[in-house]
Chains A and B, each alone.
Chain A
Amino acid sequence: MEHGHEIGSHSLAHFAGLTFNMDTLIMTWITMAIVIVLAIAATRRIELQPRGWQNFLEMAVVYLLEQVETNMGSKGQKLAPLIITLFLFLVVGNELGLVPGFTSPTNDINTTLGLALMIVLIVHVLGIKNKGFVRYFKHFFEPYVPFVIINIIEEVAKPITLSFRLFGNILAGEILLLVLGMLVPYFVPTLWLAFSVFVGIVQAFIFTMLSISYLSNSMQDGH
């Protein structure tokens, strides 16, 4: 393959016996910086009639708060900052890859799997905290005892579903963008670029919604 922009390959760095995907790491930092700057820009001069960045962020925050309230009730309010940050990180991260010279941090399975494992871990910790150890693990044996194997497979499948969907969609989108750029330059890649903007937002939304759905199951008291 001729040299140029390559997607899916990473520049590696070795430190303390660990391997780091440097491009993913740098893009993750850039994404975090953009999210922080966005949040500061949107809240620096809060007005009753939102304008500019405040308008954009307020729309996302109000919508997500509504989803949290509907799915988790008032108890879910304390998880709202996590959900909103997750959504903003994913939106910015997904769209970053569409900027020439940048790649999405979410086109690396390590990022998406890390986020998914974080959510699944929180789900279990909250479940045990809210329902108690015995009552939480009892639900693995429902509706019948033999279902325990199926329920365990389902739990293992949760992070796989979450992470591979996001990773696959973003990586495939970027690869297709490059391939189309080589095969049919200008018009078709521009169309695909516009569609990728939509895909990035929808995938961030799906990840967030599924996280809310998983978290809401562990927030219920089970009465």
Chain B
Amino acid sequence: MRKDSNTLLNALSTAASIGFYLVSSVAAGILLGRLVDEYFAITPWGTVWGIVLGMIAGMWSMYKKVVGGK
């Protein structure tokens, strides 16, 4: 009974957080990309690559969460 409720709550927290990995990684990518843009004056390439890398990072952390259980 205790184990079942543990599994349920953990599954609930994983399910509720998994979508946010994709969104927040892209947000972090944009943030870092804009900083790079400002520092090196290469607008908009920093932001563009930030978004692309953010998407990859989101997929990567979701993969780790689902497959690796981390």
Binding site for B on A (CB under 8 A): 66-67, 147, 149-154, 156-158, 160-161, 164-165, 202, 205-206, 209-210, 213, 217
B interface SS class: helix
- Give Cα A78–Cα B11 distance, bound, in whole angstroms: 26
Q: Can you identify 21 A-B contacts, CB atoms within 8 angstroms?
A: A66-B6, A147-B60, A149-B53, A150-B56, A150-B60, A153-B29, A156-B31, A157-B24, A157-B54, A157-B61, A158-B24, A160-B27, A202-B12, A202-B16, A205-B12, A205-B13, A206-B13, A206-B16, A209-B9, A210-B17, A213-B70
User: Could you tell me if A161 and B13 are in contact, using CB atoms closer than 8 angstroms?
Assistant: no
Known: A160-B27, A165-B20. A153 touches B32 (CB 8 A): yes
Chain A residue with Cβ nearest B15: A206
Q: Which of B6, B13, B57, B70 contacts A217 (CB 8 A)?
A: B70
- Contact-residue bracket for chain B: 20 to 34
Binding site for A on B (CB under 8 A): 6, 9-10, 12-13, 16-17, 20-21, 24-25, 27-29, 31-32, 50, 53-54, 56-58, 60-61, 70
